[in-house]
């Protein structure tokens, strides 16, 4: 059974208690968003997620999207839900007020995104892609394009997509063939085929604005010859209403493993009119602005599915009667005890819970950096925030989606045979979560980005934004009488991370394959240390609150218990990652290709 209640108390803990000492300071531009106002917004978002979107999740999966006469129809109820969502201002939550947005902190936006993804991941992609598109347009488009397109995209009246890959090139975008031919009026004619386009065609908005990668005549080969273009589905009239069709057609809907209520399309552009966004042949720079925004959001997708999977598993574990507790009967009135009494079921539930709380804590930390990068008036703080975001973006995308998929699988396992049956609803979580490890750059590519670009950038400056606060925190608290074992474990994991960093830096300079071979383990290692840092901070806060005699003792005791489980059962993975990194590439690369 799909069960979801927004984890508002933990979200408020992350927003108001956990990261107040993150070094990014109070941001004057966001002072109007008081804790009471933020809490009220989150509570309203929870109602939308639980009452409007969750009931459409399984029915949308069963019905899916359909293509009829070139038009994609979303499942029953999606159009009405989207209209309510748009009219409620949820599309414009974190967008710039200049374009009609509400200008809320990214910290609040990411918590809202998590709720939407938990309730209905397919639905989340429609407004989510639009927000990413507005980021690229705002950062690189001409003032004329901004003025005309951003207000309707920010409001949700028009939606957006990102059209990158083509059937023959996959991730290697330097091979793309879509052409852009300049016209005398400053526009271009775009011709080519794109695949895997999320929200590429649907019936939720009156227009769809495609951001399309294409090549101008005589452009250099490879990625250095790619430009970015804004191509509307319908050419708007001067008054902003949709005009004639613009040569954009749907060749097919992709038949996917999951996300069946999200229209993933194959699109053809047949001399479609488009306008350059940014500089000629510099399209990847503009597209990466959108992609990096989306990569953090995709990480939140993994967290969202993980939370829904966990809650559904908890519900089942409390309801399902099977076997007797090894420590004595717990349900004498029934024929068996609920399966939550069994240690292995507890292992699975606690693992999911720790993953979710750890990822939510990191999400809050990165979101504070996003706000500091945008709003801080201190150049040093802005730089540190920018460095931290650069380092953590691939970690958030890959770690959160890896763990979200693992949680979905654990939920299926908790249900046993019933989890494998569609009627339970939890097998959908496993199918839906799987794509997040692939799109917006596979998790292997995120790891390569981390070790190949983010670590060496600026002579290692990005790492200092992470290493310094963790090191200072350990030094300040490792003698804590009650939590000393946690800090000892964190210090050892952090030491393994430092040694691994040095190993990659040294070996990778001599042989790039050594760094590449270590990349996935290194990303997991830095993610584990980040989670450990957040859990140690949370444990300190919980310990203090309990000592004060808080009325919320249950919440803080659970936070301490979850932290202990993380340090006992999950953080030891750091040692395995370190040993794998230390072993080098030899056993991975030495086998002859013909022997596979």
Tallying the residues shown for the chain, one arrives at: 596
Phi/psi of residue 260, each to 5°? -70, -20
Q: How far is CA 529 from CA 451, 456, 487, 582, in A?
A: 16, 19, 11, 17
Start-to-end CA distance of the chain, whole Å, equals 42
Question: Rounded CA gap, 256 and 262, in Å?
Answer: 10
Find, among 250, 367, 529, the residue nearest to 11 by Cα.
367
Question: Rounded CA gap, 336 and 289, in Å?
Answer: 55
For 240, the enclosing helix (H) or strand (E) is: none
Find, among 134, 110, 81, the residue nearest to 15 by Cα.
110
Catalytic residue among 201, 294, 427, 440: 440
Cα radius of gyration rounded to whole Å, the chain? 24
Note whether 257 and 199 are within 8 A (CB): no
Handedness of CA 301, 47, 127, 104 (dihedral sign): negative
Written as six digits, the tokens of 253 are: 């809907």
SS3 172: coil
* Residue 380 annotated among the catalytic residues of the structure: no
Q: How far is CA 254 from CA 67, 244, 440, in A?
A: 10, 26, 17
Question: Rounded CA gap, 274 and 137, in Å?
Answer: 13
Phi/psi of residue 273, each to 5°? -75, 130
Note whether 110 and 248 are within 8 A (CB): no
Find, among 180, 197, 198, the residue nearest to 189 by Cα.
180
Strand partners, 140: none
Phi/psi of residue 370, each to 5°? -60, -40
Strand partners, 282: 226
Q: Count Cα neighbours of 134 within 13 Å in the Cβ-side half-sphere.
A: 28
Written as six digits, the tokens of 539 are: 């444990």
Written as six digits, the tokens of 328 are: 């004595």
**Residue spans of beta strands (DSSP E) within 19-92:** 66-68, 71-73
Written as six digits, the tokens of 574 are: 């750091």
Contact residues for 108 (Cβ-Cβ < 8 A; gap 6+): 15, 33, 38, 41, 42, 93, 94
Query: Strand 207-214 relative to strand 158-163: parallel, antiparallel, unpaired?
Result: parallel
Indicate which residues carry an active-site annotation. 440
């Amino acid at each position: 059974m799909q069960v979801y209640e927004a984890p508002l108390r933990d979200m408020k803990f992350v927003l108001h208690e956990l990261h107040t000492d993150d070094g990014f300071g109070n941001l004057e531009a966001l002072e109007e968003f008081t804790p009471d106002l933020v809490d009220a917004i989150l509570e309203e978002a929870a109602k939308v997620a639980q009452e409007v979107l969750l009931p459409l999740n399984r029915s949308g999966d069963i019905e899916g999207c359909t293509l009829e006469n070139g038009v994609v129809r979303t499942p029953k109820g999606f159009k009405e839900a989207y209209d309510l969502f748009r009219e409620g201002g949820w599309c414009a939550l974190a967008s710039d007020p200049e374009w009609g947005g509400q200008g809320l902190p990214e910290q609040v936006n990411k918590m809202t995104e998590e709720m939407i993804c938990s309730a209905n991941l397919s639905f989340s992609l429609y407004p989510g892609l639009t927000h990413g598109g507005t980021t690229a347009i705002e950062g690189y488009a001409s003032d004329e394009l901004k003025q005309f397109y951003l207000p309707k995209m920010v409001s949700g009246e028009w939606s957006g997509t990102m059209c990158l890959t083509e059937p023959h090139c996959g991730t290697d975008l330097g091979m793309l063939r879509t052409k852009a031919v300049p016209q005398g009026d400053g526009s271009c004619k775009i011709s080519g085929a794109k695949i895997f386009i999320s929200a590429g065609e649907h019936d939720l908005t009156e227009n769809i604005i495609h951001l399309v990668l294409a090549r101008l005549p005589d452009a250099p080969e490879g990625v250095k010859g790619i430009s970015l273009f804004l191509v509307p589905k319908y050419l708007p009239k001067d008054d902003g209403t949709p005009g004639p069709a613009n040569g954009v057609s749907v060749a097919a809907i992709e038949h996917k493993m999951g996300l069946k209520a999200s229209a993933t399309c194959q699109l053809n552009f047949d001399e479609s009119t488009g306008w350059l966004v940014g500089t000629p042949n510099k399209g990847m720079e503009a597209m990466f602005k959108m992609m990096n925004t989306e990569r953090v959001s995709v990480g939140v997708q993994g967290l969202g599915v993980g939370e829904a999977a966990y809650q559904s598993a908890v519900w089942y574990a409390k309801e399902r009667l099977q076997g007797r507790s090894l420590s004595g009967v717990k349900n004498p009135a029934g024929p068996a005890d609920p399966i939550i009494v069994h240690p292995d079921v507890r292992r699975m539930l606690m693992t999911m819970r720790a993953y979710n709380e750890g990822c939510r804590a990191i999400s809050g930390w990165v979101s504070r950096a996003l706000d500091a990068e945008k709003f801080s008036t201190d150049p040093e703080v802005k730089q540190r925030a920018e460095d931290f975001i650069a380092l953590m973006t691939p970690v958030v995308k890959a770690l959160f989606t890896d763990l979200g998929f693992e949680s979905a699988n654990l939920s299926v396992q908790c249900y046993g045979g019933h989890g494998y049956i569609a009627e339970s609803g939890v097998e959908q979580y496993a199918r839906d979560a799987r794509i997040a490890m692939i799109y917006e750059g596979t998790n292997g590519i995120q790891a390569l980005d981390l070790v190949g670009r983010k670590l060496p950038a600026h002579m290692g400056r990005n790492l200092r934004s992470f290493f310094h606060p963790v090191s200072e925190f350990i030094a300040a608290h490792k003698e804590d009488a009650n939590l000393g074992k946690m800090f000892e474990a964190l210090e050892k994991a952090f030491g393994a991370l430092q040694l691994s960093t040095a190993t990659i830096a040294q070996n990778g300079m001599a042989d790039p394959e050594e760094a590449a071979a270590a990349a996935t383990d290194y990303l997991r290692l830095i993610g584990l240390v980040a989670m450990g840092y957040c859990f140690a901070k949370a444990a300190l806060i919980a310990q203090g609150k309990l000592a004060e005699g808080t009325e919320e003792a249950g919440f803080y005791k659970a936070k301490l218990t979850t932290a202990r489980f993380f340090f006992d059962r999950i953080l030891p993975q750091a040692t395995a990652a370190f040993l794998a990194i230390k072993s080098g590439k030899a056993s991975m690369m030495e086998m002859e290709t013909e022997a596979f």
